[in-house]
Structure 1
Amino acid sequence: MPKNKGKGGKNRRRGKNENEGAKRELILKEDGQEYAQVLKMLGNGRLEAMCFDGTKRLAHIRGKLRKRQWINTQDIILVGLRDYQDAKADVIMKYNSDEARRLKNMGHLPESVNVVDGNEVEDDIFFDNESDENSEDEIAPQPYQPIISSESESDTDEDSD
């Protein structure tokens, strides 16, 4: 059979139309909207967000953002507040790290907020390659002690049969 030499079908077209470098207009909050930081992803298009007015709200990701823009913990989002339910909100948009930094410099976000870059990987795992000689995990070698059986014991076993 012939070898697969290249990409066939639409696979070669998929990576072509990527325009990550395009700058978009910075959207500021209006009446009935608030900036928030994502605390926890709950699943099913819901998340727990800490709004910068001091309240923790359950936010719902609207359908337009659901598959197009992935929201992670520590992201800065804009939520629309509900008039009839103060504990719930709707996610209007997600700010990328550059936009969040610009909002912080303009004074719209508090100084205590730490803006996380999307490409920054946070690892809490540290490996230690040093080995200690007096480690508790190691088992000390035991001296060899052969088991000696006496002939009288083997004779009594044969007599009982």
Structure 2
Amino acid sequence: MTGTLTRTGRVGPGLAAGALAVLLAACGGGGYGGAGNGPAATPTPPAAPAAPVTPAPAAPASTRVTADLSDFHIALSRTAFTPGPYTFALRNTGHHEHALEIEGPGGEQRSKTLAPGENGTLDITLKEGAYELYCPVDGHKDLGMKTQITVGAAMNGY
């Protein structure tokens, strides 16, 4: 009687081979021998912990200033300025084309020309000092479409 318990309490060879096959199958084949199995892969060492990510410093937030460009006047929503980035939100509330040019320390910048009713923006970083803001379109500056601002400490003249 192959594979059964004998009167002596020993397991026969058939039962022992079947039990071994079940154990090997439960272990997934182990990685050595068997059809198509090569040697077990060398375990990879655990990855080094990732270095903490330091976010890049955020650019300073831009201060928004509304600039109403009318025939022939510039009205700003603020009169006090400190050095830093600004976004001038332009609104052409007049009946003619207008633009805004800002001239002062560090150079000058100009917006695109806006048709009546059109809006636009002009981004600029203001440094300490005196600035002239004006409309560069068709002599509008000479018609009074200009204003001055001081950034930072009060300065004499411009």
Would you call these one fold, judging by a TM-score over 0.5?
no
Structure number having the greater helix percentage: 1
TM score, norm. by length of structure 2: 0.20
**Could you say which structure has the larger radius of gyration?**
2
TM score, norm. by length of structure 1: 0.20
Structure number having the greater strand percentage: 2
